[in-house]
Amino acid sequence: MVTYRGPTMVAHTLHACAMLLRRNRDWDWFINLSASDYPLMTQDDVLHVFSTLPRNVSFMEHTSNLGHKADGRAKPLIVDPGLYMSAKKEVFNVWPERELPTAFKLYTGSAWVVLSRDFVEYVVWGWDNLPRTLLMYYANFVSSPEGYFQTVLCNAPGFVGTVANHDLHHIQWDVPARQHPRALGLDDRDDMVGSDAPFVRKFEPDDPVLDVIDADLLLGQGRNGTASGMFVPGGWCGQRGDCGAVRANVDDRVLRPGPGAKRLRRLMNKIVRSDAFANSQCK
């Protein structure tokens, strides 16, 4: 994934969704991650828990309470500076503004989402005009990845009842919040684990806490409880964990969930299998 958090990121995400739909229909969720994200549990943990969920559930943090984002992100009109300057021949210190839309309701939230295949098909194939209309609107929007998918889903009646208000990340913000989240370190390990989230962000390069996560949460759950020095071996690797030797006879349906599955199941009980699921949708 790209790190530019503008309309380009939305376009790249939709392109990735379209490629996945074209190449393989045998999947249930699309998860967008960046180089700043890190797992807090193994793939087997995530697959094991997700296999128990309704396939139409999407995960995205969202709210219609725009707060300061109404003036700072929704109203500024983003234009090509080259065309604008060639026409005006002068520099302005403020963005031109527009009114908030009345044809649809704006929502905002986290740029990190987990989309069901049903919803991905809707936004990519666009059997009505809403996804395309909002794509054009968010092409002139500050930080469009923090609103496009939320606004599409919450304005599509068929999907409103399918969204969990959580981005499945553990992120810590300064108070008051800045543009980027606080970099995490060793002192934050317990909070990361206690969040029950499968992903976390972000870290300084080569921070020692990454080695702790590898040893305690990832590689420590690999072959015979020891670190392999590579990716975390899944259950499909066989009893000996020799993934290369069984490549020809791989059965990727075999999972070996560990303690991370228990944490993720606890999170799903809070955000999907509880009253919070219905009570937090598109408010």
pLDDT tens sequence for the chain (283 residues): 333 355 678 999 999 999 999 998 889 999 999 889 999 999 999 999 999 999 999 999 998 887 777 666 677 766 655 555 555 545 555 556 778 889 999 999 999 999 999 999 999 998 889 999 999 888 878 788 899 999 999 999 999 999 999 999 999 988 776 778 899 999 999 999 999 999 999 999 999 999 999 988 986 544 344 444 556 777 777 655 566 555 556 676 788 899 999 999 999 999 999 999 999 999 8
Q: Are strands 114-116 and 29-31 parallel, antiparallel or unpaired?
A: antiparallel
Phi and psi angles of residue 192, each rounded to the nearest 5 degrees, phi first: -60, -50
165-184 burial: b if 16+ Cβ within 10 Å, else e: bbbbbbbbeeeeeeeebeeb
pLDDT of residue 263: 98
80: left (phi over 0), alpha (psi -120 to 50) or beta: beta
Please say whether the beta carbons of 199 and 168 come within 8 A. Answer: yes
The DSSP symbol for 31 reads: E
Angle CA 160–161–164, to nearest 5: 95
Q: Tokens 């987990």 map to which residue?
A: 114
Q: Tokens 């939320």 map to which residue?
A: 150
CA distance 41 to 193: 9
What is the pTM for the complete model shown?
A: 0.84
- Closest to 9 (Cα-Cα) out of 127, 103, 110: 110
